């Protein structure tokens, strides 16, 4: 499912089995392209401008680790109420995606089984 043909790289919904993390903090992988990913997380603070991201499946059958990313947008979706942490949506651009990484990245796309 290609959501936006006007982008430099087509964006695809992420597989429900795929997750993301940085320094042990979990993120929900929302969408991805050859240029980067969209993630959702809950936390008190926004993400730093540059992070190393890990993408993996729950069973660890496939993983990409230490992907250098730059934050290109960030939206605080809600303020968090009743002791809940606020929700953030963040766009991360890959710093230097190589051909092997892009080949593996295809497996993280959502498909109808």
**pLDDT for 79 beyond 90:** no
Task: Please tell me which residue, 79 or 98, carries the higher pLDDT value.
Answer: 98
Radius of gyration of the chain (CA): 14
Is residue 74 a part of any domain in this protein?
yes
| Distance from C-alpha of 32 to C-alpha of 79, rounded to nearest angstrom | 26
- Is 9 domain-assigned? no
The verdict on residue 10 lying in a domain is no
Q: Write the CATH number for 52.
A: 2.40.10.220
**Number of domains observed in the structure of the chain:** 1
pLDDT tens sequence across 39-76: 999 998 999 999 999 999 987 788 999 999 999 999 99
- Provide the pLDDT confidence category of residue 3 given band limits of 50, 70 and 90: very low
- Mean pLDDT (whole number) for 7-20: 88
Q: Is residue 3 part of a domain?
A: no
Task: Calculate ∠ Cα 32-36-40, nearest 5°.
Answer: 65
Q: Print the domain residue range for 100.
A: 16-108
Residue 52 lies in a domain: yes
């Amino acid at each position: 499912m290609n959501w936006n043909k006007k982008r430099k790289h087509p964006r695809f919904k992420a597989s429900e089995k795929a997750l993301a993390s940085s320094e042990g903090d979990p993120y929900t992988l929302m969408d991805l392209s050859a240029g980067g990913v969209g993630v959702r997380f809950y936390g008190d603070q926004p993400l730093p401008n540059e992070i190393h991201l890990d993408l993996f499946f729950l069973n660890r059958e496939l993983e990409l680790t230490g992907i250098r990313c730059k934050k290109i947008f960030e939206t605080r979706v809600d303020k968090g109420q009743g002791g809940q942490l606020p929700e953030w949506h963040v766009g991360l651009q890959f710093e230097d995606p190589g051909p092997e990484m892009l080949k593996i990245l295809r497996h993280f796309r959502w498909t109808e089984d």
